[in-house]
Structure formats: structure tokens, C-alpha cells
Amino acid sequence: MKIVSAKVIVCSPGRNFVTLKLETDAGVYGLGDATLNGREKAVVAYLEEHCLPALIGRDARNIEDIWHYFYRGAYWRRGPVTMTAISAIDMALWDIKGKALGTPLYNLLGGKSRERVMVYAHATGKELGDAVDAVGKARDEGFVAIRVQSSVPGVASSYGVPKGDRAYEPAQKGVAEEQVWETAPYLRYLPKLMDRVRSTYGFDFHLLHDVHHRCTPSQAARLAKAMEPFDLFWLEDPVAGELQEGLRMIRKHSTTPIAIGEVFNSIYDYTTLITEQLIDYVRMPIVHGGGITHLQKVAALAAVYHVQMGFHGATDLSPINFAASLHFDLAVNNFGVQEYMPHVDPAFDVFKVNYKFERGYCTIDDKPGIGVEIDEEKAKKYPYVAASLPVARRTDGTMFHW
Amino acid sequence: MKIVSAKVIVCSPGRNFVTLKLETDAGVYGLGDATLNGREKAVVAYLEEHCLPALIGRDARNIEDIWHYFYRGAYWRRGPVTMTAISAIDMALWDIKGKALGTPLYNLLGGKSRERVMVYAHATGKELGDAVDAVGKARDEGFVAIRVQSSVPGVASSYGVPKGDRAYEPAQKGVAEEQVWETAPYLRYLPKLMDRVRSTYGFDFHLLHDVHHRCTPSQAARLAKAMEPFDLFWLEDPVAGELQEGLRMIRKHSTTPIAIGEVFNSIYDYTTLITEQLIDYVRMPIVHGGGITHLQKVAALAAVYHVQMGFHGATDLSPINFAASLHFDLAVNNFGVQEYMPHVDPAFDVFKVNYKFERGYCTIDDKPGIGVEIDEEKAKKYPYVAASLPVARRTDGTMFHW
Amino acid sequence: MKIVSAKVIVCSPGRNFVTLKLETDAGVYGLGDATLNGREKAVVAYLEEHCLPALIGRDARNIEDIWHYFYRGAYWRRGPVTMTAISAIDMALWDIKGKALGTPLYNLLGGKSRERVMVYAHATGKELGDAVDAVGKARDEGFVAIRVQSSVPGVASSYGVPKGDRAYEPAQKGVAEEQVWETAPYLRYLPKLMDRVRSTYGFDFHLLHDVHHRCTPSQAARLAKAMEPFDLFWLEDPVAGELQEGLRMIRKHSTTPIAIGEVFNSIYDYTTLITEQLIDYVRMPIVHGGGITHLQKVAALAAVYHVQMGFHGATDLSPINFAASLHFDLAVNNFGVQEYMPHVDPAFDVFKVNYKFERGYCTIDDKPGIGVEIDEEKAKKYPYVAASLPVARRTDGTMFHW
Amino acid sequence: MKIVSAKVIVCSPGRNFVTLKLETDAGVYGLGDATLNGREKAVVAYLEEHCLPALIGRDARNIEDIWHYFYRGAYWRRGPVTMTAISAIDMALWDIKGKALGTPLYNLLGGKSRERVMVYAHATGKELGDAVDAVGKARDEGFVAIRVQSSVPGVASSYGVPKGDRAYEPAQKGVAEEQVWETAPYLRYLPKLMDRVRSTYGFDFHLLHDVHHRCTPSQAARLAKAMEPFDLFWLEDPVAGELQEGLRMIRKHSTTPIAIGEVFNSIYDYTTLITEQLIDYVRMPIVHGGGITHLQKVAALAAVYHVQMGFHGATDLSPINFAASLHFDLAVNNFGVQEYMPHVDPAFDVFKVNYKFERGYCTIDDKPGIGVEIDEEKAKKYPYVAASLPVARRTDGTMFHW
């Protein structure tokens, strides 16, 4: 089953998505997500200029071989652009394999380990009261796991808080917004927010929070400890993760579960974190982490050390990645939770999806492969719009982690 | 696709084999090897009495779930009997999945990473000259990787050396033979054997040797160091492996590649060995190591740490396991070598195999699933014969490692 | 003193028990427990088919040699089935030695280190109040050490809680019950239970609790920390124990004493746990842990690192094992506590025991050997009934630890 | 001093080069190399689409701030494409700073620590004799440090060996060449080559060798040990470097100095390698490693642990990067050696360089900034030609490290 054509489709139905389409001489095609938020065109060029010519003529069945071809064959390994391109190829090949064999992806990954996938909602507010209300709204919608974020009093802009009434989309058109941030008020504020959430709604649901890399190890350790009375499901990205040892201090001081890695792209970003048992959840998404092939290996490594999977799933990843994630979530034993942020309507104008949300859980139907289709004509209606994620500075102007 | 029947077939075409057959309501059936040399009936009972009733009615597609059902559901985890039973179930389910989808097993494991599988032959001799000749014979047969073993002068019996003219089959009818062994003469003798092999045939082929657990760490370190001039592909099972830290000393003193684990049955037997990089090759076979599902995880863990797969493949494992191993070997990137010891003819009277050996490599055809069939009528012609592996004593009578 | 006959007796007086009986040419016989709950027939086959023929003719006095014969001679080492078979042989040989010398087992193990053996009772309840009352009842019966378990509100089924009014027997006839479990509510609930127990009855008795492997390391660390105000004697099996390093995090965060290993079967399951001082109590029972011979070595290793013995002693082990445990408990210096769960009456119809409970302690009389007899005729009245331990799934269907 | 324009120039005078040109309102402009061999267009897109719009209007003097803006602002950190884009910006800004202050770059980096920069030559041969002759030729040209590579008998293609009579340029037009490689013959061959080199020319010059990631840790340890009699200046990239711990075994077995990292791009790729003192030389080039700003920090960390700088300097990096490297090499105290491979003539048609080679050393003149100019008109004469680095397969077809 030879690959006979390969093309990249860029569209922006609400936000930018990059989609890889591979066609085979068996008449079966596959789709893979190649979206790297704010760096989309680099992935497009990586694929079109450097990968796709080498894909033509290869046997689509040999996914492991093709994975290593592009991983090792790049010579310059790892990194978000490289690994997103590889992920897209890998996803499209698994989609092809499923379609060629007439079976949904999860069945190729070992079958179902569960019937439905617990997802967590985003609840955000411009102030404490709004955030608390948003948690209540998410509970009313049936969510059993909710991530809460809010603006911090005295801090000009906070991660995860929308500006207007629309759902939170941090990327904005054109050049990155420069936000202002200080961690000290946040450290003092967060326990208040969590206390209000728990005292309002009790403990009978999973509560999550994303630090978004904005702590030093000692700040993160302090924060994780301060979160203990609120029984968090996880505290996410407590410190910037390039230095894996940076998580050690948190672990020494707190039992709050830790999730990390939505910006990671390789199993090597996790070796120390996992083998030293510094984390509880893997956040690296399929679309950035080398695809299904690589994530299966990460999940295997994680399982040995009691670590569970908790895929990134914001709307900066396309419905194709989300569907692939659900297949993976259904199949793997060491599943924890799946992030779920519904795409805006235009996305569903372009992508025909096979999953749905109901009362706290997502399910996916039995269409072969990944099961999401793209309407290429409609995609053309939504041309690419350059957009950037924000950056953050401290009040003295220091470039900081967004 | 429900499992509707499950049965265990025991036969002895040359040696004992235990085979699990699962049938589904889709008319597809699967076969798994459940042979545990010298402990066959314990696995039969484990399956028949404790597992098969719980299999009936389960969805054969959900392999991961069923794996955890029997692993965790046993309560008393791990161990050769337990894990062989789980392996048989897992293999049969992968066989079913392949047949149901009409595709060979390797295609479900990621496709082909290579076209053929390098195997190593056994060359054994009753004395040094015989062993050296046996290496020559194996080279003449086209082998590019050869394991050499020989009797040790002054030691009554040695691992790997046949008694008569037949191929080496250590298990013998009835109660275990008690052999006599001393390690000291072996340590002095082995370099002579290796020197003769290399000086006779040169270095242009892979040379292997199996210590069969008979060294202490300091003996093993000395031996591994003494092997360095002979450029071994691997030195196998240098010490008994229950204590993984027992391999540290070898690694400190020698660069000779180390293979271990034909007696292992769990990923947890390898965690220290792999993450501390004390070994180069994983020997745990599919049939004893929890099946394809578990071995995929072991291979993933191994790959991170530069460790390759080198499956046990003596004739104490059935052709079903050997075929499954070849599929696995074809698919995984971090493949090293596959042990290959041809079964005696009666085995092929019962098992119809889809693989062949040619000039140093094995290949397997594209029959769906694992692709080996069993002739149940013929199996009845070869009833079970109780047999035991030998045990070893030192010259003073001390029970020792065989 | 040659072994002249060996047979396995399976009976089910209330629950299944497997008993090994060895007879010698000196007219002395010995009994060993070979019960592996839910996997009984595999042990029977292991013994009958693969071990007993090799026992005949051996000198029953050479226990150490016979131990290594079956441990090393199996080739495929460790695991619950293998080690239970070895345990039964070992126990029967010690029973023979005691009878041959006309002395109780404890006297062969070094004599008495104490006059009586502190045991802990099971106190369980369907809800918090019931559990608290059960603790009171146990105190009234004179127990000075009590393990408390209770159903968790909102969790369909909990470990350790009987369904009807009978004593807790988790195994049920036929295929395993699939229970539903979630850890999060349990983590919130347990401190409330413990608080009520301590505020009702004070601190003047030993309080124990069994987590039954249902936590991740960070959950277990949190729980162990939360238990500190309640002065636990131990917290048992806080995480699944295949990965010994998995206990490290608990130890970093809490001083609550930890017991582990009722599912272990080898000293190698404890090496990291003991040498890194991650635990306080060894739970591996004689019947699954290779017998008296092997447990003496475990106790020796444990003593070096301030670890004490706390044998598993639920009714899934036969009175023979319980009596052997009491001998061991009397003899060893580093004794902690002994689990004690009285067998139902039919068990005593078959097994004539030499131990009794009085005011918190068990004592054993001075009958030679282990001192428990089996009435083989009565055993026949209670034929084997296939039964299985439950399995647990999370609410989304994920196979979990029972 | 605001940046007022930014453009990317792609040309292929002999091979592809990507050059970033930044212009300021002060009339000063800067050039940065952005060449990522075989992945050029991805960097172009990364720069043009995602970085350059955000550069316009920034103060060119604030290099540190701009570095963090693009590093942290990417959100998805590290990786070859990202870091090469950042490197190009960083280099161009340092070029601007030098030009604005009318001073050569080295003067801004702390001035000269030496007058000239020791470089090493490439000596390669199609067979042993050729390679040895090539070393002689390099010595005749005055080189005092020479890297020797040669084809390995019996291996179809080897790293570092040109095909025809032209200088070695591994990238070839179009899709990657699939080469065949085996490590075993190489391990046996290399000591012979080195022995001949040293016995022919003596020890009075620095001898280097590049393993190009083709060993496992145990192979690399063996090779490093075997190299000891030949007094290597360094052994380069002995194993693939994503797993930094993978270098530990080499260090345990050999004192041969180790260089690593021409494929690295971040200080975090070196943390374990440097703090555990597993290496002697940093190979990460300025153009891929985040520019001068980031490499200064790497050099600082390295110096603490006695590690020296040894920049990658093959012709896949443009003359701009080479000149920047020379400035860096002149300035930093812990300089080791600089790779030097002269560009083919057309490169000098486009790039006007300020450095020269003489008797084993390179010197650079005192032009302000980096000092290399680009002739944009001439660049247009050499349009981009898609080219790829080779990939390597083992003889059985396994995708391997090139």
C-alpha cells in the first residue's frame, strides 16, 4: 500500500489548523493534525519542503519504520516543529491503517480499556467570583473534572482568562501581546480562590489548576503545599520543564499531584521526571509528541512508574488530534483525564467529527481509523490568519514565562 | 466479537507444548503458546481452572483490558506460571485480531522495520574441537550469528551440550537429572575456546555465549573482561538475575555486551537493569513475559536506554511463540537478534508454520494473525510426557544454578 | 529419613484449602499449606506433576538442599504458584523435622523470644458508624491491635467489607465479581473514619489500615501524612508493589509506619524496600513466600534494617500456615504483629489446631512440629469449589487494582 | 536603535545557506546564519512567518531581552528549527552591536584570550591507505589537529567519506540517500586505522575521530577504550545523545576525551553531560544552539566542570557562523578546538569573509561586528536546491543512526 500523494491543508475556522492528508494507491487516505499554535507555517514548510517528497512511494503500513526515518533522518532531532511534522505523518498513517483494515484506531491500540473518557473543563473568571461561578456552570453542564483559573488581583493579565465574553483563545492576530505578570500576588491569591471553590461546591469533583510555568521550584513547592487542603486532581506545569530536575523540590515538599509537558515533544523530556517519579501525569499531546507511535512508548514508560496520561486538549489542536487522543485514551490502561475545550462552530464546518461530550465524559464512534473528516472546500473559506500566543513580562519589564 | 470457547491442547511432538485456542462468535479463532518447560501442567491448570471460565463472553478486541484483568485479577502477580498463562491469552487475542482484520500480526505492531530477522544458531561440542567444528558447520549453513557452548574439561556436565548425536534438548523424561558443575575451570577454559573459534574463523560473524547464571558478580566481571578480545555479540545471563543490582559489577569492569532474562517474566524484572543501563539485550520471551502486549512495553522502555530485543527462542517454546517473535522482531525498531533452534520434525507434523530460515535470517509470510496452525488430530498422536530440566550441583554436592 | 509418599489434599470447609502431606520411611509425616486463593489448582498441578515425583526418596532432613532444589531446579524462578508449592514442601519438611525430634517448630527456629503473639483483628463496617462499632467490639473481645476498614460513601464496593452478616470472604464462587472503585472519595473519607475511631476509643490500642494497593505514590504519600494524627500501627500496601521504588515518595512525606507484601513471594521483592528502609513491616506469608526456610532469611535481612515481621493471616491461608506463622512469630526477635482472622467452623472440622486466641494474643501448644492435624476423611466431605477473588474497575470501566 | 527591516536570504553557492539580515534605523545592519542542513525552509518559514514581524520596532541593543522574547515567546521551546531561528536573530544583533560600536565581535565578548584559533582538518579516505595519506596531506598543509575518517571494509557507505573527488558534502539533491551501515566491522577496523596513522606520523599532532552516533553505550565504551593507545584529542558523538545518561558507561571505561553535540540546540541538552563530567568538549554550534547569547552561557557552565568548547564547523554552516565562531573562540578562556572545513569557491563568491587559515590556525581581522558580508546580487545567482542528508539502514533494513 504505497503513499501516492501528500498535501498540507491550512485553514482557520476560528483559529489556525494545519492538516496533513496522505493518499495511498489502495484508495485509502489518512489525516493527521500538524497544528503548532503560533508556529504553523514552520511546520507546513517542514512537511512540504523536507518530508513529503520522501514519503511518496513508501509503504503506508510500515509506520514504525517511517517514524524512525523522519526522526533519525532529520539528523537534527526533537523540537516542536520537527516532532509536530512527524506526529502528523504518524497520525495519518494510523488513520490509513485503521481505514485499510476497516477498524477504529482504538482497536489497533489494544481495544477499549473503558467505554468513555473523562474530560476536564476550563472554568475561568476575571475575578474570584466569576471563576467560582464558572466552576458552578461547568458542574451544571455535567463536568466531573474542572480546571479553574482566574485573574489575579493586582496583576494586569493572567493565563487562562478570556478578555471578552468569548471562550478563551490566547493566540491573537498578528504579533504577540505582551502581558504583565507577577508570581508573588498569585501565590497569595490562589489558595483563596481554591478555598472558595471548595467551600462553595465541596470536594465531590476533580479540581485542576494550571500554573503555566510561572513558578520557581521553591515557589512551586510552596504553592503545591498550599494546595493540599483543596485536594487537587493535579497542579499543572508548576515550573518551566526544560530542566527535569527542577521538579525535585516540589516533590520533596508536597503530595499534590503534578502534571507536566504540554510543551514537551519527546520521551526524553520525561525520562528523569518519570523514572524519579517526580510527576503523576503526562501532558504531551499526540500532535506535538511524535504521534501515536511515540506516545505509546511514553505511556508504557509512564505506566511502570505509576504515571498516567492526561493529554493536552485545548482548541489550539485540531479535532483530528482530539479524536486521536480519545482513541488513545480509550485504549491505554494508565489513562488519567483528557483536557476538553470545545472548538468554535466554524471548526465543525470544516471538520466532521465522530466524538461527543455527555455528562463529564467524551465518547467516540466506530468509524474506521481516527474517524474525523475534513471538508477541503469549506476549509478554503477560512484562510490562514497569522496569530501569536502572548508573551509575559514582569512589572519591571523582565521577559518571563507566559 | 465475543470469545465463545477456550481450550488447552497439550501435545508432545518431540517435546511438550501447551497451546491455547480461543474461538469467537465471529468464527475467528486464535492460538497462543503456553509452554513452560518442565512446568507445563501448572500452566494448563492455571488456564483451565482459573482463567478460561472468565474469558468466555469477553470481547476479544479488548486485549489491553483483558491483559490487566488477568494480571491484576490474579491478585498474586507475576511469576512464570501466571505470566505464561497471560501470555498465551494475549497471543491468542492478537492472533484473533490479525485474522479478524485479515492482516499479519507485524502489521498491527507498526508494520515492518526490516524484511528479515537475523537469527543465531547453537553450536555445541563435547570438547573444544567439536565446538569449534560446530561453529564452522553453522557458518556453512549460512548463519551470521552463532552461540558457542562446549563441555568444560574436568566438569562432568555442561549446559548446552547434547549427550548423543541429537540436537540439544536439556529436558529429559521424568525427574530432573542432577548434573555436576564447577565454575572455576569454566572461567579458565572459556577464553581458550573463544580464542580458537576466532583464530579459526576470524571475526566476520557474530559470536555469542550463554553463561547460564553460573557466575557470581565478580566471576562474571572477570569473564566478561576476558571475553573482550573475542568481540562477543553478547554474553548471556552472566549471573542469576533476581537481584538486578547483581549486574552492576560486570558493567563496571567490562564493555562486553550483556543479554539477560530468558527466565524473566515481567517488566519489573528489568527496571533497574534497563534504567541503569546494565544490559544490552532483553531475552524475556513473549510466551513467558506476558505476551505481545507486555513485551511492547518492555521494548519501549528498552529503546529509551539503548537496549535491544533478543528473544529467547529455543525449542522449549512452541512454533506459535517463535512465529509471534518473528512478527515482533520484524516490527520493532530496537531489534537485536533472535535465537533460532529448529524444532524436530514431529513438531511440524502438528504445527503448520509460516516461517523459514535462509542464509542467516528468518522470514515469515503474510498469513493473517500469527499465522501458525495446529493440527489437533495429529496433536493427539503425541501425548504429554512428563519431563524435567536438569539441576546442577557443585562437586561437593551444593545445589547450584543450572 | 526418606520421603516415601507425597500427596495433595484439596478441600473446601468454608473455603478452599490445599494441603501437602509428605510421609517418610521413619513413619513421621508432615503437612504444609499450599493454598493460593483463587489459583489453587495451579499449585496442585505444580506440586503433583512437577515436584512430588522428585521428592520421593529424598532425605527429609535436608530442608535447605530441597529448598534450593525446587527453587533453582524450576529454572523459571519466583512467582506465586512456584513459591507456594515450594512453601508447602518446606513447611511439611519442618513439620517432619519437629515430629522426628519430638519438639515444636519454634524450638527449632531458635526457641521462644516471647510467650504469646500479639495479633490484630479485622473490624469492618458498611458505614462509618458500623466500622467504629466494630472496633469497639474487637476491643471488647480483648484485641489490642485492630485493623479498621469501611465502605466509602459513594463508592459501590470497598475492600474488606463483607456483604451480608458473615465474616468477610472476598473470594466468591465461579468467576470474579467485578467491583467498582474510586480512590478520590476514599482519600477524603479515611481521615474521618480514623478520627472517629480515635476520638471514640482513644489511643490506647494499635490501629491498622489496609489500602490494598489502591493509591498512586502521591496519593499514598498524602494518605500516610493524613494518618499521622491517628497514630497508626501501620498503613498496609499503600501502592502496588512491583516497583519497589514506588514507595519512596511515601517515606519522604510521612512517618506513618508502612507494611507491604501480602502478595509478594520472594526476598527479591523486598531488597530495595528494606535496604532503602522504605517499610516497617514484612507482610509476605510463609505459605506464599517460599516457606519457613525463605522467611527466616527475609526476617534476617529485615532485622538489619529495623524492619519487623507482620505476617498476612487472613482465612485464605489454612490453619497449617497460621500455626506455622505463630511458631515463627514466637521465635524471631524482630516480630511486629500477626494478622488473625478466625476460620469458620467447618475449617476446624477438618483441621485440628493447637493454637488459641486470648485477650489480644495467640498462643500455641507444644505439640511436635507445626502441630496442626488434618482429618482426611472429613476433608472429603468438603470438595473443592472453584472461586475467585474480585477484580476492581474504576467508574469509567478501567481495570484497576483490587 | 530600532530594527526597521528584516529579511531572509536563501542561496545555494555550492550548498544551501539561509541568511538573516536585520536593518536598523541607525543605518547599521546585521547578518545571522540560519542554515539548518536539509531543513532550511522550515527555518525560513519560522523566521518569516513567526518571528520577523515581531522584531520590527524592537531596540536592537537589547539582545538578551530579544533572546528571551523568542525563546519563551515561542511557547513550544527548544528544537533545531526554533533554536536556529533564534540563533540567526541573535547573531545578527551581535553583528549590529559590533558595527554600531565600530568594534569586532570578540571585543564585545571579553576581548582576545588568544591570538589565533586552532582548527582541525578533515582527513578522509576510501580505504585505510587513502585515509592515512589524507592525514599526511593535512599535516603538510600545516594542520596540527586532524580528524580522520575512512570507509570501513565490508560496509557499503561510511560517514565522512566523499564519493568522488570532491570535498565531502553529505547532503545530496532531492530525497535522502539510504546508506547501509554496520557498526561491528567498524569497531574492529578503527583501531587498525588509528594504529597506522600513529605509526606513520607519530604522536606530535592532535588526532580526532567522529563516531557519528553509531554506537550503543557498550560499543562506545569499548571503542573509547580501544582508542587509548592512539592518544585521541577527542572521540566525537560516540552514542546518540538524547539520553544524556547514555554517556555514563563510556566514562567508566575509558579516559579518551569525549566531544558531543553537533546536533544539540540547548543548554538543557548538556546539563547531565556537563555536571556529571561525562564529556570534555561542547560541539553545539552557534547557529543551532541559540546564538552567541546562549553559547556564552553554555561555555560558562562548561568551564565550571573543566569542559572546553569545540564548535561544529562543517560547510553545512555558512561563513557567517564560522566567523562568529572564531570571534567566540578567540574570546572564551575554555576554548578547545574549532572544526574547519573550507567552503567551496562559490560560497566565497557570495560571502566576503574576514578570516583565513594559516599553519593550523585561523585568524580573523578587526572588521566591526562579525565581519562577513553577503553579496545579495550574487546570492540570487545560486537559487535554493532542495537537498537532504543521508539516512542509514542496517543490512537487514533497520532504520539506524546516520
Cα–Cα distance measured from residue C322 to residue C343, given in angstroms and rounded to the nearest whole number? 10
Ramachandran class of A150: left when φ > 0, alpha when ψ lies in -120 to 50, beta otherwise: beta
Confidence band, pLDDT 50/70/90 cuts, at residue A165: low
Q: According to the model, what pLDDT value does residue D162 have?
A: 77
Query: Which residues of chain B are at the A interface, by a Cβ-Cβ cutoff of 8 Å?
Result: 59, 61-68, 97, 101-103, 107-113, 267-268, 271, 275, 293, 296-297, 300-301, 303-304, 331-333
Is residue B217 within a helix (H) or strand (E), and if so which, with residue range? helix B217-226
Half-sphere exposure of D249 (CA within 13 A, CB side): 32
Q: Which of A159, A281, A340, A355 is catalytic?
A: A159
Would you say C39 and B74 are in contact if contact means Cβ atoms under 8 Å apart? yes
Provide, as residue numbers in chain C, all residues whose Cβ is less than 8 Å from the Cβ of A256: 218
DSSP D8-26: EEEE-SSS-EEEEEEEETT
Q: What percent of chain B has pLDDT over 70?
A: 99
The C-alpha cell of D176 is what? 535522502
Say how many CB pairs under 8 Å bridge A and C: 60
Query: Which chain D residue has its CA at the smallest distance from A78's CA?
Result: D79
For residue D210, which amino acid is it? D
Q: Are D187 and B231 a contacting pair at CB < 8 A?
A: yes
Cα–Cα distance measured from residue D195 to residue D25, given in angstroms and rounded to the nearest whole number? 59
| Chain centroid offset of residue D144 CA | 19
At C332, give phi and psi (nearest 5°).
-80, 145
Out of A337-341, B169-173, D98-102, least confident range: B169-173
Provide, as residue numbers in chain D, all residues whose Cβ is less than 8 Å from the Cβ of A245: 271
Closest partner residue to B42 (CB to CB) among C49, C53, C68 is C49
State the average pLDDT over residues A5-12.
98
Query: Which chain C residue has its CA at the smallest distance from A252's CA?
Result: C252
pLDDT in tens, B113-124: 999 999 999 999
CA A255, A196, A139 angle in degrees (round to 5)? 90
Q: According to the model, what pLDDT value does residue C157 have?
A: 77
Using alpha carbons, list the distances in angstroms from residue A146 to A201, A208, A220, A232, C145. 12, 6, 21, 10, 41
At B358, give phi and psi (nearest 5°).
-155, 120
Confidence band, pLDDT 50/70/90 cuts, at residue B165: low
| Chain centroid offset of residue A204 CA | 25
Cα–Cα distance measured from residue C369 to residue C323, given in angstroms and rounded to the nearest whole number? 10
Provide, as residue numbers in chain B, all residues whose Cβ is less than 8 Å from the Cβ of C44: 45
Q: According to the model, what pLDDT value does residue D165 have?
A: 65
Cα–Cα distance measured from residue A277 to residue A387, given in angstroms and rounded to the nearest whole number? 37
Is residue A253 part of the annotated active site? The answer reads no
Chains C and D touch (3+ CB pairs under 8 A): no
Q: According to the model, what pLDDT value does residue A160 have?
A: 79
Provide, as residue numbers in chain B, all residues whose Cβ is less than 8 Å from the Cβ of A105: none
Q: Are C249 and A255 a contacting pair at CB < 8 A?
A: yes
Is residue A159 part of the annotated active site? The answer reads yes
Closest partner residue to B301 (CB to CB) among A65, A112, A300 is A300
pLDDT in tens, B322-358: 999 999 999 999 999 999 999 999 999 999 999 999 9
Question: Quick check: A166 pLDDT over 80?
Answer: no
Q: Please give, rounded to a whole number of angstroms, the shortest distance from the CA of A277 to a CA of chain C.
A: 8
Q: Please give, rounded to a whole number of angstroms, the shortest distance from the CA of D246 to a CA of chain B.
A: 7
Q: Are A69 and D391 a contacting pair at CB < 8 A?
A: yes
Residue segments in chain C with a per-residue pLDDT below the cut of 50: none
Residue that has been written with the C-alpha cell 502528523 in this structure = A88
CB-count exposure of residue A173 (10 Å: 0-12, 13-18, 19+): exposed
Would you say B304 and A271 are in contact if contact means Cβ atoms under 8 Å apart? yes
In chain D, the domains with their CATH numbers are 3-103 (3.30.390.10), 108-370+387-400 (3.20.20.120)
Question: Neighbours of C (≥3 Cβ pairs closer than 8 A)?
Answer: A, B
DSSP A245-288: GGGHHHHHH--S-EEE-TT--SGGGTHHHHHTT--SEE---TTT
Neighbouring C-beta atoms of residue B373, cutoff 10 Å? 17
- Assign 3-class secondary structure to C122-177: EEEECCHHHHHHHHHHHHHCCCCEEEEEECCCCCCCCCCCCCCCCCCCCCEECCCC
Confidence band, pLDDT 50/70/90 cuts, at residue D235: very high
Question: Neighbours of A (≥3 Cβ pairs closer than 8 A)?
Answer: B, C, D
The C-alpha cell of D374 is what? 553577503
Q: Please give, rounded to a whole number of angstroms, the shortest distance from the CA of B186 to a CA of chain D.
A: 24
Query: Which residues of chain A are at the C interface, by a Cβ-Cβ cutoff of 8 Å?
Result: 112-118, 203-204, 206, 228, 231, 233, 251-252, 255-258, 277, 280, 304-306, 308, 333, 335, 361
Active-site residue list of C: 159, 212
Would you say B224 and B195 are in contact if contact means Cβ atoms under 8 Å apart? no
Is residue B222 within a helix (H) or strand (E), and if so which, with residue range? helix B217-226
Provide, as residue numbers in chain C, all residues whose Cβ is less than 8 Å from the Cβ of B75: 37-38, 263, 389, 402
State the average pLDDT over residues B303-325.
97
The C-alpha cell of C58 is what? 529424598
Q: For chain C, what's the residue count?
A: 402
Cα–Cα distance measured from residue D84 to residue D65, given in angstroms and rounded to the nearest whole number? 17
Cα–Cα distance measured from residue C397 to residue A190, given in angstroms and rounded to the nearest whole number? 34
Q: Are D243 and A268 a contacting pair at CB < 8 A?
A: yes
Q: Are B41 and C49 a contacting pair at CB < 8 A?
A: yes
Provide, as residue numbers in chain D, all residues whose Cβ is less than 8 Å from the Cβ of B336: none
Say how many CB pairs under 8 Å bridge B and C: 165
Would you say A358 and A345 are in contact if contact means Cβ atoms under 8 Å apart? no
Q: Please give, rounded to a whole number of angstroms, the shortest distance from the CA of A263 to a CA of chain C.
A: 23
Closest partner residue to B300 (CB to CB) among A67, A111, A296 is A296
Q: According to the model, what pLDDT value does residue D166 have?
A: 67
Q: According to the model, what pLDDT value does residue C321 have?
A: 98
Would you say D117 and D359 are in contact if contact means Cβ atoms under 8 Å apart? no
Q: According to the model, what pLDDT value does residue A39 have?
A: 98
Q: Are C288 and B76 a contacting pair at CB < 8 A?
A: yes
Ramachandran class of A261: left when φ > 0, alpha when ψ lies in -120 to 50, beta otherwise: left
CB-count exposure of residue D174 (10 Å: 0-12, 13-18, 19+): exposed
Q: Are A39 and D68 a contacting pair at CB < 8 A?
A: no
CB-count exposure of residue D304 (10 Å: 0-12, 13-18, 19+): exposed
Query: Which residues of chain C are at the A interface, by a Cβ-Cβ cutoff of 8 Å?
Result: 154, 184-185, 187-188, 216-219, 221-222, 225, 239-240, 243, 245-246, 248-249, 252-253, 394, 396-399
pTM of the model: 0.97
For residue B362, which amino acid is it? C
ipTM of the complex: 0.97
DSSP B89-122: HHHHHHHHHHHHHTSBHHHHTTS-S-SSEEEEEE
Mutant choice from C190, C211, C216 vs A, greatest count of A C-beta within 10 A: C216
Say how many CB pairs under 8 Å bridge A and D: 164
H-type alpha helices, C155-310? 183-201, 217-226, 248-253, 271-275, 291-304
Confidence band, pLDDT 50/70/90 cuts, at residue B106: very high
Q: Are B332 and A64 a contacting pair at CB < 8 A?
A: yes
Q: Are C396 and A117 a contacting pair at CB < 8 A?
A: yes
For residue C221, which amino acid is it? A
Mutant choice from D214, D216, D272 vs B, greatest count of B C-beta within 10 A: D216
Provide, as residue numbers in chain B, all residues whose Cβ is less than 8 Å from the Cβ of A267: 304
Q: Are B64 and A97 a contacting pair at CB < 8 A?
A: no
Question: Neighbours of D (≥3 Cβ pairs closer than 8 A)?
Answer: A, B
Q: Are B386 and C65 a contacting pair at CB < 8 A?
A: no
Q: For chain B, what's the residue count?
A: 402
Listed residue (B79, B87, B8, B22) closest to B287, CA to CA: B87
Q: Are B62 and A108 a contacting pair at CB < 8 A?
A: no
Q: According to the model, what pLDDT value does residue A168 have?
A: 80
The sign of the torsion formed by the CA atoms of B305, B311, B312, B318 equals positive
State the average pLDDT over residues D209-221.
98
Query: Which chain A residue has its CA at the smallest distance from C250's CA?
Result: A255
- Classified as helix, coil or strand, A353 is coil
Closest partner residue to A251 (CB to CB) among C154, C249, C397 is C249
pLDDT in tens, A195-212: 999 999 999 999 999 999
Q: Output the average pLDDT for chain A.
A: 96
Q: What percent of chain D has pLDDT over 70?
A: 99
Neighbouring C-beta atoms of residue B333, cutoff 10 Å? 21
Cα–Cα distance measured from residue B40 to residue C270, given in angstroms and rounded to the nearest whole number? 28
Question: Quick check: D40 pLDDT over 80?
Answer: yes
State the average pLDDT over residues A136-162.
91
Cα–Cα distance measured from residue C217 to residue C244, given in angstroms and rounded to the nearest whole number? 11
Q: Are D41 and A46 a contacting pair at CB < 8 A?
A: yes
Q: Are C82 and B78 a contacting pair at CB < 8 A?
A: no
Question: Quick check: B259 pLDDT over 90?
Answer: yes
> Could you tell me which residues are beta bridge partners of residue B23?
B5, B29
Provide, as residue numbers in chain A, all residues whose Cβ is less than 8 Å from the Cβ of D78: 78-80, 242
